[in-house]
Amino acid sequence: MLDFFTIFSKGGLVLWCFQGVSDSCTGPVNALIRSVLLQERGGNNSFTHEALTLKYKLDNQFELVFVVGFQKILTLTYVDKLIDDVHRLFRDKYRTEIQQQSALSLLNGTFDFQNDFLRLLREAEESSKVRAPTTMKKFEDSEKAKKPVRSMIETRGEKPKEKAKNSKKHKGAKKEGSDGPLATSKAVPAEKPGLPVGPENGIELSKEELIRRKREEFIQKHGRGMEKSSKSSKSDAPKEKGKKAPRVWALGGSVNKEVLDYSASTANGAPEGAPPEDINLIRGTGSGRQLQDLDCSSSDDEGAAQNSTKPSATKGTLGGMFGMLKGLVGSKSLSREDMESVLDKMRDHLIAKNVAADIAVQLCESVANKLEGKVMGTFSTVTSTVKLALQESLVQILQPQRRVDMLRDIMDAQRHQRPYVVTFCGVNGVGKSTNLAKISFWLLENGFSVLIAACDTFRAGAVEQLRTHTRRLRALHPPENHGGRAMVQLFERGYGKDAAGIAMEAIAFARNQGFDVVLVDTAGRMQDNAPLMTALAKLITVNTPDLVLFVGEALVGNEAVDQLVKFNRALADHSMAQTPRLIDGIVLTKFDTIDDKVGAAISMTYITSKPIVFVGTGQTYCDLRSLNAKAVVAALMKA
């Protein structure tokens, strides 16, 4: 049973609607428009909203959308056929009203489609019911029944001989290919089955066969022995190799034990202070107050662009004209066959740029659904049209529904006199602590005080790493410059403690001491580790942070999808809240190591519909960028 079926234009005008139940279809259809149609996620023609499953079909020629909704617990096999039949009949019946392409004509038009729809629905339901029951196959219908009885009777002594002969022939052929002349001697008796060959049995060998057998026996006895002796002589040969002297590097360190031992360096019973560090080297160049946009272009791209213009000038006028006119589609609607080869190349190109394979397929499918039936211009190629549509889809994906503005949210939290809490999570080794320190420096540059909560109580050295970052950030922002107030502080309780409890104590400490922001560092964990994922869900549920950031590296491809899907699923499964808290944003690290293979940004944003808040591009505190969607898409589409 269908809940509803609606037909509306891409401009938002509802042309006709069928209500199977009393509930309104406005909410599910609006969710479909917001989450799928506006976000360019049309690779799959199915969408789930609460207890409903929505299936839709786009008509790009007349700018129409056909949507059917039903309960997701039902398995309705006729829905795809129904939506195709309704699409075909509605388009043919009201072609003249739709072709005017004006909102006034659509509003004034009367689309009396109720009786036609009920007839199509009845036919679709009956066609799904009328199915011949599967009957068991009878013996008379099998291939064995068609064979005569004589062919299945085995005469004693005949079949085994034939089988033995065949097996001997196969063995002889195998050995002939592997052992050379040795196999031929064993293949000779197979030519005369049942009669042993040899002078003792009364069968004389010819002169040639006798010579061949003697040669094979000689090779068998002496040839292998010679090979073994040659191998042993090689192995017994003395190996005279000189000792390799260790290389001395110009700027390298020493391997002397006394030089590398720092454990005994004490002064008056206390460890010596940290060695002096170059503050400018730690800070990096650039303004830390304002995040710069990510730049994916390089000097190699400009040189390649200049070189690409040189051969075009040498082409002849006639060749250039034919090259320009090649592949033009003049005022006709695009079909799947026209776009198939171009979309295959686009899909392979996206996968080569590190986009996850499943997402590349869905993106190309979405572009195909978007362009199918669309009327092309006179001087437009299929390749340029598909590429332009794919670029628009990628830019739309990288600009998701919610935009995270941390500075505005922190100021809003200040008005309510509470700290703004950010939790960092992710797998091992992606750079959570390092990028937490970069974000701390950015917040300090904007005048906010930061408390760093060391909730990674599992990894050895995690607290010491954050202590080092805190010392360096204090050197960059000493208390003397802020009226004697420490702008950054580390809150830690050592190792082996409950991370959720430490985070709760840190938030209470920040509220009492007047800190603006609390940055919670968590232990790295793989997405399949159930106990650690349960602990992370507990930390987020108990402390309810304002922002949950997933830290992922730009080097991954298909693994990015697996990580994000399983992190969100684990947070939802192990959460004790009614509405579980999921990932709010993404921090993309190690972006300076991938050149133009920026596909991980597309994969992560597509799978979560969450924005990329920060991008890490280096090892200093200023190497933090905001995502520039157009620059990323330009690098992604670059050949």
CA nearest to 443, candidates 471, 465, 421: 421
The pLDDT of residue 481 is above 80: yes
Q: What is the pLDDT of residue 307?
A: 46
Q: What is the pLDDT of residue 161?
A: 45
Q: Could you tell me the fold of the domain covering 4-129?
A: Beta-Lactamase (3.30.450)
Tokens matching residue 446 = 């904007």
CA nearest to 427, candidates 532, 317, 307: 532
Measured in whole angstroms, the distance separating CA 576 from the mean position of its chain's CA atoms is 29
- Distance separating alpha carbons of residues 413 and 87, to the nearest angstrom: 51
Is the distance from CB of 551 to CB of 604 less than 8 angstroms? no
Q: At what angle do helices 114-129 and 79-93 cross, to 10 degrees?
A: 150
CA nearest to 379, candidates 329, 317, 320: 329
- Distance separating alpha carbons of residues 219 and 208, to the nearest angstrom: 17
Homologous superfamily of 406-628: P-loop containing nucleotide triphosphate hydrolases (3.40.50.300)
Q: What is the pLDDT of residue 38?
A: 78
Q: Which amino acid is at 429?
A: G
Q: What is the pLDDT of residues 324-377, one digit of tens each?
A: 444 444 456 788 888 889 999 999 999 988 888 888 998 898 888 888 888 776
Other Cβ atoms within 10 Å of 181 Cβ, number:
12
Say whether 19 sits in a helix, a strand or coil. Answer: strand
- 243-252, 353-362, 604-613: least confident range: 243-252
Q: What is the pLDDT of residue 47?
A: 86
- Strand-pair partners of 553: 589
- Distance separating alpha carbons of residues 544 and 418, to the nearest angstrom: 13
226 vs 420, which has greater pLDDT?
420
- Distance separating alpha carbons of residues 267 and 145, to the nearest angstrom: 98
Helices (H), 453-553: 462-476, 499-513, 530-543
Average pLDDT over the chain, rounded to an integer: 77
Q: 34-39 — which CB contacts under 8 Å span 24+ positions?
A: 34/401, 35/401, 35/609, 37/65, 38/396, 39/396, 39/397, 39/400, 39/401, 39/609
Give the residue carrying structure tokens 């199918």: 372
Say whether 189 sits in a helix, a strand or coil. Answer: helix
> Percent of the chain scored above 90 by pLDDT?
22
- Strand-pair partners of 548: 423
Mean pLDDT across the stretch 15-25? 83
Q: What is the pLDDT of residues 379-407, one digit of tens each?
A: 678 888 888 888 888 888 888 667 788 99
- Distance separating alpha carbons of residues 329 and 90, to the nearest angstrom: 27
Q: Please name the helix (run of DSSP H) or strand (run of DSSP E) that holds residue 8, with its range, or none.
A: strand 4-9
- 209-223, 356-370, 514-528: least confident range: 209-223
Is the distance from CB of 382 to CB of 342 less than 8 angstroms? yes
Other Cβ atoms within 10 Å of 634 Cβ, number:
18
Q: What is the pLDDT of residue 491?
A: 95
Mean pLDDT across the stretch 599-616? 88
Query: Confidence class of residue 175 from pLDDT cuts 50, 70 and 90?
Result: very low
Q: What is the pLDDT of residue 44?
A: 73
Which residues, 6 or more positions from 213, have their beta carbon under 8 angstroms from its beta carbon? 185, 205
268 vs 479, which has greater pLDDT?
479
The pLDDT of residue 509 is above 50: yes
Query: Confidence class of residue 141 from pLDDT cuts 50, 70 and 90?
Result: confident
Q: What is the pLDDT of residue 419?
A: 95
Tokens matching residue 184 = 């031929």
- Which whole-number Å values give the CA distances from 498 to 107, 421, 453, in the listed order? 63, 18, 13
Which residues, 6 or more positions from 307, have their beta carbon under 8 angstroms from its beta carbon? none
- 3-17, 114-128, 218-232, 366-380: least confident range: 218-232
CA nearest to 503, candidates 455, 439, 431, 470: 455
Q: Which amino acid is at 126?
A: E
CA 221-224-227 angle, to 5 degrees, is 145
Mean pLDDT across the stretch 211-239? 63
- Distance separating alpha carbons of residues 603 and 618, to the nearest angstrom: 22
- Distance separating alpha carbons of residues 366 and 40, to the nearest angstrom: 7
Query: How would you write 53-113 as a 3-class SS string?
Result: EEEEEEECCCCEEEEEEEECCCCCCCHHHHHHHHHHHHHHHCHHHHHCCCHHHHHHCCCCC
- Distance separating alpha carbons of residues 94 and 16, to the nearest angstrom: 12
Q: What is the pLDDT of residue 66?
A: 92
Is the distance from CB of 628 to CB of 293 less than 8 angstroms? yes
- Strand-pair partners of 56: 67
- Distance separating alpha carbons of residues 271 and 467, to the nearest angstrom: 15
Q: Where are the domains of the chain?
A: 4-129, 334-398, 406-628
CA nearest to 286, candidates 627, 624, 629: 624
Say whether 467 sits in a helix, a strand or coil. Answer: helix
- 96-105, 135-144, 248-257, 566-575: least confident range: 248-257
CA 362-363-367 angle, to 5 degrees, is 115
Is the distance from CB of 546 to CB of 450 less than 8 angstroms? no
Which residues, 6 or more positions from 620, have their beta carbon under 8 angstroms from its beta carbon? 281, 282, 283, 284, 285
Q: What is the pLDDT of residue 452?
A: 96
Q: What is the pLDDT of residue 12?
A: 81
Mean pLDDT across the stretch 164-185? 45
Q: Which pTM was predicted?
A: 0.64
The pLDDT of residue 254 is above 90: no
Give the residue carrying structure tokens 């001697």: 185
- Distance separating alpha carbons of residues 266 and 272, to the nearest angstrom: 5
CA nearest to 31, candidates 20, 41, 22, 17: 41
- Distance separating alpha carbons of residues 62 and 43, to the nearest angstrom: 20
Tokens matching residue 314 = 């040498």
CA nearest to 500, candidates 467, 463, 453: 453
Mean pLDDT across the stretch 2-10? 88
The pLDDT of residue 635 is above 80: yes
Q: What is the pLDDT of residue 106?
A: 62
CA nearest to 556, candidates 394, 356, 364: 356
Q: Which amino acid is at 105?
A: S
At 214, give phi and psi (nearest 5°): -65, -40
Query: Diameter of the chain by CA atoms?
Result: 118
Mean pLDDT across the stretch 114-137? 79
Mean pLDDT across the stretch 134-156? 69
- Strand-pair partners of 552: 588
DSSP per residue, 387-435: HHHHHHHHHHHHS-S----HHHHHHHHHHTT--EEEEEE-STTS-HHHH
Is the distance from CB of 62 to CB of 99 less than 8 angstroms? yes
Q: What is the pLDDT of residues 60-77, one digit of tens each?
A: 777 889 999 998 888 888
CA nearest to 487, candidates 525, 425, 445, 533: 445
Q: What is the pLDDT of residue 163?
A: 45
